[in-house]
Amino acid sequence: TMSSSSPLSTSDQKILCTLLTSHTLSPLPPFLTLHRILSSSSNATHIFFTGKFMIKAYQRDLSRDTALKLNVYQKTLEASLDLNQIHDAQNLLEYIRQYNPHGEKSVRFRLLQGMFYECVGDYDEAIEIYQNILKEKPLHKEALKRNIAIAKALNAPQQAIKWLNRYLTLHATDAEAHAELVDLYLDENEFLKASVACEQLLLLEPENWAYNIKYADVLCRVQRYGIARKYYAKSLNVKEDDNLRAALGMLLCFNYVTEANDSKLRQYLQMYVTQIYAKKRSPLVDSVKEVFARMS
């Protein structure tokens, strides 16, 4: 089992001590505190070491709740794959296979098995698993997402675009997927398609400052500077502090489109950009000042 084959090293124990120390104010007992870390953290290293410790030290507590036990094993397995800890992942996968109520027929197990095959580079086996899941459950989000990931890993952007469009047809409110589609179109120099994808993205999250910049960047690629500056401006309105990209984007647009009272706005933006570089103590601050001085 995991507990006998993967004892915690001294460095592992130090990481866990750090994690537990950061939760010393928690009123929960250690086991529940660890489970909270496991559930809330997005750091694969923290999840991996926390899961290993829970599996080693709290087998009795985990055995009382099969669903909880499988959840801990799954999260630890996913983290081990992120960290390329193949031996640990293989042990965990075997445990989940044995103790999952539905065994190898479980969609949950098959997804994890497919992710394991991805990690070891056996993409054909992984694709077959995901395709079988989609035959049974055509709307299954994770199976669709894994096909997208494989296409990107195989450097097949057009195939990734195809899978993403299929995914978004079924799950149209996934903003992150729309943003991913925009990036894929940009990588393929399909700027008009990227523009349309950005419009769909902003319908979902119109006040997202980063997505407004993304759309403005795309518009600049198709030389629609007048509209682009409006989206840079909106981004700057939404996120007023430290929004260098939006300010520089607006300054870029001034080279192509000018309107009344632009001189005052240009001066404000130049001052805004200079202050950001100065605040960060960037070595470029003097060069930025010189460029702006020549533009005045």
Residue 139's identity, in one-letter code, is L
* Buried residues in 5-32 as b, exposed as e (16+ CB within 10 A): ebebeeebeebbeebbeeeeeeeeeeee
Which residues in 220-249 are b (16+ Cβ under 10 Å) and which e?
Answer: beeebbeebbebbbbbbebbeeebebbbbb
Residue 83 has pLDDT above 80, yes or no: yes
> Is 22's pLDDT higher than 80?
no
Flag the least confident range among 16-20, 95-99, 259-263.
16-20
pLDDT digit string, tens, across residues 104-119: 888 999 999 999 999 9
Share in percent of the chain as helix, strand, coil (round to 5): 75, 0, 25
Decide if pLDDT at 16 tops 60: no
Average pLDDT, the chain: 88
> pLDDT class for 6, splitting at 50, 70, 90?
very low
The better pLDDT of the pair 23, 13 is held by 13
Instruction: Extract the tokens encoding 238.
Output: 């939404």
CB 48 within 8 A of CB 96: no
pLDDT of residue 190 exceeding 70: yes
DSSP run (H or E) holding 108:
helix 107-119
Helix residue ranges per DSSP H, 171-280: 175-187, 191-204, 209-221, 225-238, 244-254, 262-279
Nearest Cα to Cα of residue 175 among 145, 208, 150, 147: 208
pLDDT above 70: percentage of residues in the chain: 89
**pLDDT value for 35:** 81
Q: What is the pLDDT of residue 98?
A: 87
Residues 68 and 52: beta-carbon distance below 8 Å: no
Tell me if 182 sits within 8 A of 198, measured CB to CB. yes
pLDDT (tens digit, 9 = 90+) per residue, 229-281? 999 999 999 999 999 999 999 999 988 987 756 888 999 999 999 999 999 88
Does the structure show a pLDDT above 60 at 23? Answer: no
- Checking if the pLDDT of 8 tops 60, the result is no
Give one DSSP letter per residue of 125-163, joined into a string: HHHHHHHHHHHH-TT-HHHHHHHHHHHHHTT-HHHHHHH
Question: Quick one: tokens of 174?
Answer: 């996934």
The torsion angles phi and psi of 207, rounded to 5 degrees, stand at -100, 10
User: Which tens digits make up the pLDDT trace of 133-164?
Assistant: 999 999 999 999 999 999 999 999 999 999 99
